Amino acid sequence: MEITLETVVFYFLAAFITVFSLLTVTTTRMVRSATYLLFVLFGTAGIYFLLGYTFLGSVQIMVYAGGIVVLYVFSILLTSGEGDKAIKLSRSKFLAGLGTTLAGAVIVLFITLKHKFLATTDLQPIEVSFDTIGQQMFSSDKYGYLLPFEAVSLLLLACIVGGLLIARKR
């Protein structure tokens, strides 16, 4: 197997995402956890850019890394006191989480080993116009994205209103 720059960058991004994913779920400070999540989302955008999906990488940065993490940070800062830490897990919850993690790892390993990865022979990029992307994003047919987009926007609006109400009660 030939080691190319793309391979090195992929392994670096994979390690980067793995480390910051673990830091996201293991840290006790919530703002640090949101910051580590931001790094994970930037790493995911890096994978998209490495694969040549510039539009998807840009959306990843603008929507997730930009909007969602800012929303998380503001909701954390509005609802928690200064220096709030996450509580320690009980032994039973830790063991349940560890068991679930191991079961998920076994499932992923099983699927990965059973799948036959075939090399792609046709590597010609398909040109898609912005009009086509826009029509697909706002269509409400079977493969459209209007309904999920509206559902997520209502969920985020409910989170903002809930965060404001909780902060206002103090």
Q: How many CA atoms lie within 13 A of 131 on its CB side?
A: 0
Distance CA 153, CA 146 (A): 11
Residue 82 has a pLDDT of: 56
Residue 80 has a pLDDT of: 65
Residue 84 has a pLDDT of: 58
Q: pLDDT by residue for the chain (170 residues), tens digit each? A: 688 899 999 999 999 999 999 998 888 877 788 889 889 989 999 999 999 888 888 888 888 877 777 777 777 777 666 555 667 778 898 899 899 999 999 999 999 899 887 777 777 777 888 888 778 777 777 777 777 778 888 888 888 888 778 777 65
Residue 16 has a pLDDT of: 96
Residue 169 has a pLDDT of: 66
Helix 5-26 vs helix 30-51: crossing angle, to nearest 10: 160
Describe the chain by its helix, strand, coil percentages, rounded to 5.
75, 0, 25
Tokens standing for residue 3: 């080691």
Contacts of 89 (CB under 8 A, 6+ apart): 97
Residue 121 has a pLDDT of: 74
**What number of helices (H) and strands (E) belong to the chain?**
7, 0
> Between vectors from CA 43 to CA 17 and to CA 138, what angle results, nearest 5°?
125
